[in-house]
Amino acid sequence: MAPQEKECSPSFSSSTLAGMKLAQPAPGEEIVVSGLSACFPDSENIYHFRDNLFNEVDMVTDDDRRWTFFNKEIPHRTGKLLSLDKFDAAFFGIPYMQAEAMDPMLHILLEKTYEALVDAGVNPYQLKGKRVGVFIGSCFSESEKNWYFEKIQTSGNCITGCARPIFANRISYWLGVNGPSYTVDSACSSTFYALDHAYWSIRQGYCESAIVAGTHICIHPFVSLQFSRLGVLSPDGRCKCFDRDANGYARSEAICATYLQKAKDAKRVYATVLYVKTNCDGFKENGITYPSGMVQQKLLKEFYQECNIDPVLLDYVEAHGTGTRVGDPEELKALDEVFCKGRNKPLPIGSVKSNMGHSEPVSGLASLVKVVIAMETGLIPPNLHYYNPRENVESLEKGRLKVVTSTCPLPGGLVGINSFGFGGANAHVLLKWNDKIKVNGSAPADSLPRLVIASGRTEEAVDVILKDFEMRPVDVEYVHLIQDLHSQQIHGHFYRGFSLLTNDSRKIRNIKYCPVERRPVWFVFTGLGSQWPGMGRSLLNIPVFAATINKCQEVLRPYGIDLPNIITSDDPRIFDSVINCFVGVTAYQD
């Protein structure tokens, strides 16, 4: 493909590849999830979300954090983020007036994007000028009414602060990246359609890595009123996915960001994205919002033909599972038809919507985060509100499909995820867990202390990072990740600190304010007389030091000098020779 053609945005879709068997990527070219960050209802971050899932917390709540209840048609229970009012505009280079007229979704989206990059071990400012794609899934902006129609904005900041198409562009602008950048809206499958675009953009060379994110908050009651009148909301505000008493879903908020890279470039791997595919129901006699199980079956059959994987091999399926009267039966029939034929044991299924509600455009990534949690812990979080199988669904009644209702082991590493839009835009993703065995397990193979460095906007931020390392066993890979991340300055971080992780109870650490200024370089040299017998013995445990000594020894060998003996010998007369003193001290300084 000519270079000028690769500058364009992708004009292809996975739906155009129907029936074709695609060549698998070469080793190192696989696309992996390397960074994650998110906030969910009553869950400040993914760790909090993980705990809520395993503790079987219903994250859908009945309170007036968003609006005062005035209409009985609007369900009282919704899933709500913990906070919408905090934003560090200066860190992202956004003027105060612009930040004040910006959709709170965009505030949090910027923060979660930064966190996802850092989670991947990537310094955001090292991406400037690179072909990094930004693909955002978003549907409604419920703050538009406030800025467009109720408040008079003479500056026009509400346009650049609330227009959903600019969400992706704002991230590209902040990072200075030049890959494809746009917002995708296919209703409830928006983030998986965004993932589809990102996956194929990387595979086809349009970008080298990609940010995939989604946003959704519920701040205007009239949007919920319209969904209620459409007949898709549960009056009692509970997603009873796959249950006989299922009567709709509860609306929910979520903002999630992921970072995709090729495996050869990734410093961390949560999961490999084996394949992504989309299609659309098209015309349906029952209406545009009526799901088509037949088209969902077609999507799944073509999906596994194209990626050349037997559906029987899957170990778990995270279903779309909204709990609507029509949607669940249609999806369950498709799952039974594709995954259960030839299977000799029940297929575990679940839906995160039972735990947190339906986050609509972000629901695909919410499911992906749940699956990553399962892969990281080896345990599948349980569904809530499932007591009796859906009537007239044979696959549930006869046990071919089994809803996970208590924490259970994830039997293997292949997991499929469904995400369907209410207008018929269907998507499916296949993930494979990272089966790499950690280097040295979780602890170093030696007794050397590890130096951890960190920087942050505040002293508290640095303290939180250092405490995280101090409270867990030393993980050499994690230490390397954070060292690499902070080896170069992150603009706007005014505090820096370090902690020396030792095998005893000693606590050696410091945090200080470091204004942005160029500091002088100091060179420190020792003189003769600083040496003592055996002073290099423990230093040889450090690989880079040992390699340097070996290199020096190769140079000195023709002269009959035994450098390793000089720096490790306990003989008090070893340094009576000036030559031994000189080469020993010089080798230390190298």
Catalytic residues: 188, 320, 358
For residue 461, which amino acid is it? A
For residue 441, which amino acid is it? G
What tokens were used for 517? 């200024």
For residue 559, which amino acid is it? Y
Q: Is the dihedral of CA 552, 558, 559, 562 positive or negative?
A: positive
Alpha helices in 398-535 (DSSP H): 459-470, 476-485
**What residue has token string 């739906």?**
15
Residues 566/584, Cβ–Cβ less than 8 Å:
yes
**What residue has token string 């005893």?**
504
User: What is the distance between the alpha carbons of residues 314 and 482, in angstroms, rounded to a whole number?
Assistant: 34
Phi-psi region of 524 (alpha: psi -120 to 50; beta: other; left: phi over 0): beta
Residues 175/127, Cβ–Cβ less than 8 Å:
yes
User: What is the distance between the alpha carbons of residues 429 and 584, in angstroms, rounded to a whole number?
Assistant: 59
User: What is the distance between the alpha carbons of residues 148 and 361, in angstroms, rounded to a whole number?
Assistant: 22
H/E element, 143: none
- SS3 per-residue string spanning 192-207: HHHHHHHHHHHHCCCC
